[in-house]
Structure 1
């Protein structure tokens, strides 16, 4: 009788366990809840949205560049062993005016590292403030498109899509979204993330 109870529980849990995913968010201050309490950030809200079936680990670091991320990623992959890596880096490269070819190479290298480690990758793009000029801004956005196409990974073109022009939804620096905007960031990510966590 006891064996039958255990078998019944296992059968009921099997569909959920088969699709459980470990998701690592590897980003910069936009994902590290800069200026907010951790529970207000979009990464923590994503965990709440997904529920207990999936585990979301935030390995984001404020101020991180793609070069810094590339140096840090191997250790994160070894320690966390993600099924899905959400890669949200590049904003600090753009804000600092760093060479875009190097940014592209670094993002590509991180995608390759994650894929070799068995992780499915979701790339998240960003845009620069208009004072950086339309030419540099356009080329910056194109980096994400090129990396996504080259490695055939899904892309969320803009983490702050839908409110990027609304300064009321950004902190005083005009770069980091306020708490009220964080759920919208989750909604921007979920459509691209859902197919990745449905696969095992």
Structure 2
């Protein structure tokens, strides 16, 4: 039960950071974004479309980096939970994985204390993602395995604080119709 709550908290935190990153891309307040942070915004849908377009075919590394950056960057003041980040990243997931990660999970306890503090501080949680594959099985034409090391930073005004601990996610990507998509992820 405790492990499930921890996993749920991580997912909720990731979703919140992602929503927050999408909130103020123009940065009208003039506050600085921390250096060394990679922010990947989801593509804007074309006029007249209701769903984001699938990502262009790229390498497994780029798909993994973009998806995990979006999934683990949160805006706690506007995100329901970290799951919101995974909802924003579904364009990089297979339909089956997207359905599993974005299912409506209710937590009767409400948001975590950390999440509530980020809301109170009007914080934005930004993910910096490094992709590796040391020890991964060899790639095939249709499958690749990668490891995402995710470092998050909470930004409040001009103050930044590291979010502890870092998160490691093991990813399985599949190639179909000229596109790489994440088919599975584990912590």
- Fold shared, TM-score > 0.5 on shorter chain: no
Which protein shows a greater Rg?
Answer: 1
TM-score (norm 2): 0.30
Identify the structure with the greater helix proportion.
1
